[in-house]
Structure 1
């Protein structure tokens, strides 16, 4: 039964329910339908609409390559048809483990057209993460890059096929014929083998449900390995549309993200709005200034999600001073807006904050300076409901007080995939997601903004990548030189935070950062999770109740860094 007919019969929601997926209640869906938030449009139909309106405009570009909407439509039809020809069927799950590239976008859109569900893993993930996620989601295919020189993803994918019972297929992008092995399919060859007209007929035969899962995003790993977050066609499209409306963007948007393109933030706040609404998505696989500077000069992006590390490199190399930034609508950043605005010679810079579970908060160029510099912005959706709870309770804090942020809304997840016990802890009885972030609401010129005040959850946010401290501690505790370990966030000018390990060493033993990294690599942990500093202590500070006090450890590393900075300044002064 199609969606329109089911709606006429008073049946709103998916035509088929995937076991383990928590869907919004009928009542809440009806409420969002009634106010026009959720529609019968899917991501696939929205892309087709953009193709129909902007067929000759550039949709996707790299520094020496670009394609129009009509060309991207044809490429993604053929990708979808190839996936189906391999034996994949709608609602099968596909592990995405790709660097930023045009192939990522083509494969992603191809999966959507084929009715497949991408699992948005990171290229940096390894056995611990991919093995768990693939088994938990029942992944059938694994898309990797064969061009990476520093890591053999083809061999890794073969290893994963052996350990994940449901995993049948490996698909490699940029695969040289000599590198591909038995059972590995070349993405480019699959596309080349498809007839365009036949591919379109096969794709048109696929039914897409606006209330069904479109993709599996991942949590920030706040409780061990990342949890799987189902995101749905019409709610994801709602956020894309709301983002465009929030900034007043149209098809003239030229969007670039230096963050991972598979991340929720890049999809919803950068290349996704561009691709689905007629703009241009500019992709670069490198964060080196000599690669990014020429890319910016040629493609001239006017909306950018740029990590501070990239902006510092562009400044040091002289590219910031050579580029014309006068047409840039804004650079969006997760922190240090005032510092980065100065670095960018006054170019518009706005804060951004979000969580894959649903909330997107942004600063707007029209916001007061106070809001841009001292808040993380405001929710872009007027239908998001926010509460600030007294930590450890579901009692609302007084206005302006610090507490745990809880959210509910049309794009806020109703539950993690197949995680009943975690869902009991993470959600209130009336459906608010408890974020674990400490926030307060500040009113500036009549507008309510969010101010980030820390975390309840035990996480390090390294350049936007979330590191679960408990996961690292549990893996590192097996190291023979470590008697006890506690991982905390330490401040960093470039990444905002890095992981510092406080270690009580085993008697007569010691361990270096490099040793610990090698040990964690063998444990299968992604490299960005490895601690980047070790501080040795005889014992850990404790609370009044005798428990380990991580707040005290965070203060200790802050004091150590301040002392080192002061000593370095004194040394430079003596030399001068």
Structure 2
């Protein structure tokens, strides 16, 4: 096991193996088996490119050999920041086979996040596209290399510039190479994060493949399924719920989209006969509005998954009529627990709940502030443990002591209630985190960047209600008296510090001081109420 990664107690690990949750599979073996079973069947579709299971397997083998020649070793960490392109799959399966660990970054991450990941994980390599969506990742890599000189390799899918071309690394496969064990860490994912920069989530081959298998079963995936990936595939939700990896596990076809708008997604649904896709609530609303005016054949679409944030019941009611398919609500977290509404659930459950745990071995507790279980139907803090929920973050001993109970339950940070039928209804968050349309913004991280500005005396970032995204970010800023700060200046400052675009505050409010709680802390509750009231007042002003 990778040092710094807590794992399951032996008695629980033995139980999960005995019960058949963990079957001793690795990702490298999984792809090999699917290639043997499905060979010429298409695994990946990307534009005009169509890659079979056999081709993906062979290319992953050749890239494994290339990574070895480059000097990448088992347990080395490799930052992977690739968009929805076939090279994403070739790279991660090659790293899986080698036993090196992908660290999944998102395309929107910039210097602040990538430098942190490189330094914290002691990454030896960083895999990027040349350009994507008008952004040159090679320029970003140069900045990261200056800030993290221990990074040995920058590998580029496309024109490498001054770095190493991914396309030049494919080599003759090496036979007899010993791969990782099923209980080994397969990769590191990013947490949503509520305290500064994100924590890293270690996922093993055993636990993650179990989640794929169960997800694929619940979503009725098979070799005839076609999954459209419109969200960035490095996100846990489109990666595994059932996502692109669950689709490959089932022998189905992954269709990669470079954009999520109806004008990009709807033609792919029609042309590729897509059967299932996953969106976040703001995107679902756009699709629902667009469906009536677009003339594409969406009849093959069987399931529209909505997750990443709570989906309003009123919007949920529109899905079956507007899209002609079944809505499946998905609520989960990269740390583990995933809940689904079932495809045969009555509409009342599909519309009004966020699903029930996918595994019979998921354990769920709802507790009050003193960790005492609440009465049935009451709202409580959601705690969970199970065969695919981690036992701790990577190299985060102090944080783990707070984020996990002494008996191994993960404190999700969500407030929820449980229906009599065992379905969860998410009622909010108890952590200092903003869920901006599925993108999680850690208030403390943004506050720390704001405080680096010489004109800022203090800063507090809170959520404000938004009809479209659910929540947006509002930064309350106390400037120094001599400062003549503007919101445009602050936003430009944050962009200059390499902060991802979704973390830049949507609104900045300048105040003389912050309201305080009875013990002298900043009352973010009051700040949230203030901005919500101000929004309501502005909305009522006649235009």
Q: Return the TM-score normalized by structure 2.
A: 0.93
Rounded to whole Å, the distance in 2 between the matches of 1:324 and 1:545 is 60
| Deviations 1:245-301 (CA, angstroms, capped at 9, x unpaired) | 212221222112322201111111111111122001111122344333322222122
Q: Which of 278, 285, 288 is the equivalent residue of 2:258?
A: 285
Aligned to 1:368: 346
Q: Which of 293, 300, 307 is the equivalent residue of 1:327?
A: 300
Question: Does the 8 A contact of 1:258 with 1:307 survive in 2?
Answer: no
Give the alignment's Cα RMSD to 1 decimal: 2.1
Q: 1:337 to 1:346 in 2, by over 3 A?
A: farther
Aligned to 1:146: 130
Give the CA deviation at 1:468: 0.5
Rounded to whole Å, the distance in 2 between the matches of 1:492 and 1:320 is 25
Please give the residue correspondences for 1:72-471 in structure 2 after superposition, counting only pairs within 5 Å.
72-148=56-132, 150-175=134-159, 180-181=161-162, 184-191=163-170, 194=171, 198-199=172-173, 201-202=174-175, 204-269=176-241, 270-314=243-287, 321-334=294-307, 335-336=311-312, 338-339=314-315, 342=318, 344-391=322-369, 393-443=370-420, 447-471=421-445
Rounded to whole Å, the distance in 1 between the matches of 2:147 and 2:508 is 33
Aligned to 1:35: 19
Give the CA deviation at 1:509: 4.2
Give the CA deviation at 1:81: 1.5
Q: 1:549 to 1:78 in 2, by over 3 A?
A: same
Give the CA deviation at 1:493: 3.0
Are residue 474 (structure 1) and residue 448 (structure 2) matched? yes
Aligned to 1:24: 8
Where 1:540 maps in the other structure, the secondary structure is coil
Give the CA deviation at 1:316: 5.9
Question: Does the 8 A contact of 1:43 with 1:234 survive in 2?
Answer: no
Q: 1:560 to 1:363 in 2, by over 3 A?
A: farther
Give the CA deviation at 1:161: 2.9
Give the CA deviation at 1:399: 1.8
Give the CA deviation at 1:491: 2.2
Give the CA deviation at 1:460: 0.8
Where 1:139 maps in the other structure, the secondary structure is coil
Where 1:448 maps in the other structure, the secondary structure is coil
| Deviations 1:211-259 (CA, angstroms, capped at 9, x unpaired) | 0000101111122111111100011100000001212221222112322
Question: Does the 8 A contact of 1:400 with 1:442 survive in 2?
Answer: yes
Where 2:318 maps in the other structure, the secondary structure is helix
Stretches of structure 2 lacking an aligned partner (at least 5 in a row): none
Rounded to whole Å, the distance in 1 between the matches of 2:488 and 2:354 is 35
Where 2:135 maps in the other structure, the secondary structure is coil
Rounded to whole Å, the distance in 2 between the matches of 1:332 and 1:558 is 30
Where 1:159 maps in the other structure, the secondary structure is helix
Q: Which of 477, 480, 491 is the equivalent residue of 2:465?
A: 491
Rounded to whole Å, the distance in 1 between the matches of 2:101 and 2:475 is 37
Question: Does the 8 A contact of 1:24 with 1:414 survive in 2?
Answer: yes
Question: Does the 8 A contact of 2:107 with 2:232 survive in 1?
Answer: no
Aligned to 1:12: none
Stretches of structure 1 lacking an aligned partner (at least 5 in a row): 1-16, 572-576
Give the CA deviation at 1:337: 5.4
Q: 1:155 to 1:133 in 2, by over 3 A?
A: same
Q: 1:508 to 1:315 in 2, by over 3 A?
A: farther
Give the CA deviation at 1:514: 2.9
| Deviations 1:332-385 (CA, angstroms, capped at 9, x unpaired) | 112235415526345322221111111111222322323222221111111110
Q: 1:311 to 1:389 in 2, by over 3 A?
A: closer
Range that drifts further, 57-66 or 289-298: 289-298
Q: Return the TM-score normalized by structure 1.
A: 0.88
| Deviations 1:477-529 (CA, angstroms, capped at 9, x unpaired) | 23344333211112223322211112334336454443222111233322211
Rounded to whole Å, the distance in 2 between the matches of 1:402 and 1:288 is 36
